[in-house]
Chain A
């Protein structure tokens, strides 16, 4: 199958071990660096972190399929018949992830308040809230963007009605 000599194949194996090992280490490093574990209070942009880690994983996948599984040395017909159907997954990922985002947004809308993570609570809210929780809740209903009361992830809005 392989068009390489025995010595050349052995080199590919060593290269594979080094490439996959180093990429994995870089991935873990990026994950920890991006979340502020390595340098105190230093965070990477989320999109940059995701882009780096997803593209490195895709490269690892390519390397395993093409070199370890010898896809590189198969005839084009076999390569196409195995790899082209996986393109359907591109559609599935886009369709289902946007569906998930829609569930998230509907849940927020049904509760008439944003749900998620608030790093800097709005100033007006922190003044009014605290001593009178009831008052702050009324306040939230009028100005949904100021709302802060968190929704338990387990609390599904559909079950409440």
Chain B
């Protein structure tokens, strides 16, 4: 009698509130909820980096103009501002969309559909990483930017060049304040050009703010590392889907939903990295 009573009480409790493990708080599984809180903490990490970027940029008298810095395309094409990074952004958006489709197929317990859309997502992620690898290679290899060195400067006055660099700039070319320049690197060293300001002073090109290189490589690198880890997890989970592991769990491919949250978050961060590094 007493045991039956206890059982009844515990049964009532289990059916009741959220506090004894019977029901899920916020109607989300433990794993999904923790993914949300992980993403929240990750959002704070990224925000700290981006705020540091903003603070240093505000503190500098000049900052390289992004549509000058990011204007190269594969195949030796130059002077195409922001085109390459727009393609990168589209690749990431597309991979986010295919991820949504994978999660939806998961809800229908359509194993083949999940694998198909996840493979497309992985291809998108790898495509984005390849684009980033090319962008970094150009900046480091050709333009000689590093975490302690930034050859992208900005003119603070109107003026005229007194000498050319053998590429884009010829002696006698005039420039305006706000326009950026790249100090050319050949024969193992930088060759800053001499110019004359409108006021008649003779000056030499100066290197841009050092912080630019460090912030760019660190923040886009941290984002790229997130994309890379995401691709690794996507591959693992896609293999598990294909092997039928999640079908046995019978929870409508919740693992796919969780990696989906992470993958969208990576896209979300890129929205802001794209905004502050490339657009503003």
Structural contact, B271 and A125, CB atoms closer than 8 A: no
A97–B47 Cα gap in the complex (Å)? 13
Structural contact, B100 and A99, CB atoms closer than 8 A: no
Structural contact, B47 and A92, CB atoms closer than 8 A: yes
Question: Given the interface contacts A35-B65, A69-B261, A92-B51, does A118 sit within 8 Å of B104 by beta carbon?
Answer: no
Structural contact, B55 and A97, CB atoms closer than 8 A: yes
Q: How far is the CB of B12 from chain A (nearest CB, A)?
A: 23
- CB closest chain-B residue, reference A78: B26
- Which A residues are CB-close (under 8 A) to B107? 1-2, 6
Q: How far is the CB of A22 from chain B (nearest CB, A)?
A: 11
Structural contact, B67 and A148, CB atoms closer than 8 A: no
- Which A residues are CB-close (under 8 A) to B55? 96-97, 99-100, 103
- CB closest chain-A residue, reference B51: A96
- CB closest chain-B residue, reference A43: B178
Structural contact, B264 and A82, CB atoms closer than 8 A: no
Residue B176 interfacial (CB < 8 Å): yes
Q: How far is the CB of B161 from chain A (nearest CB, A)?
A: 16
B178-217: contact bitstring with A at CB < 8 Å (1 yes, 0 no)?
1000000000000000000111110100111110000000
Structural contact, B61 and A82, CB atoms closer than 8 A: no
Residue B177 interfacial (CB < 8 Å): yes
On chain A, which size bracket covers the interface? Answer: 35 or more
B136-162: contact bitstring with A at CB < 8 Å (1 yes, 0 no)?
000000000000000000111110000
A85-120: contact bitstring with B at CB < 8 Å (1 yes, 0 no)?
110010011001101110110011000000111110
Structural contact, A151 and B61, CB atoms closer than 8 A: yes
Residue B59 interfacial (CB < 8 Å): yes
- CB closest chain-A residue, reference B64: A153
A133–B197 Cα gap in the complex (Å)? 12
A153–B67 Cα gap in the complex (Å)? 20
- Which A residues are CB-close (under 8 A) to B47? 89, 92
A32–B85 Cα gap in the complex (Å)? 13
**A-side interface residues toward B, CB under 8 Å?**
1-2, 6, 9-10, 12-13, 16-17, 20-21, 24-25, 27-28, 31-32, 35, 37, 50, 53-54, 57, 60-61, 64-65, 68-69, 74-75, 77-78, 81-82, 85-86, 89, 92-93, 96-97, 99-101, 103-104, 107-108, 115-119, 121, 125-126, 129-131, 133, 136, 148-154
A selection of 19 A-B contacts at a CB cut-off of 8 Å is: A2-B107, A24-B89, A31-B279, A53-B280, A61-B268, A61-B271, A68-B267, A74-B28, A82-B36, A89-B47, A96-B51, A107-B61, A108-B61, A116-B62, A117-B157, A150-B61, A150-B156, A150-B157, A152-B207
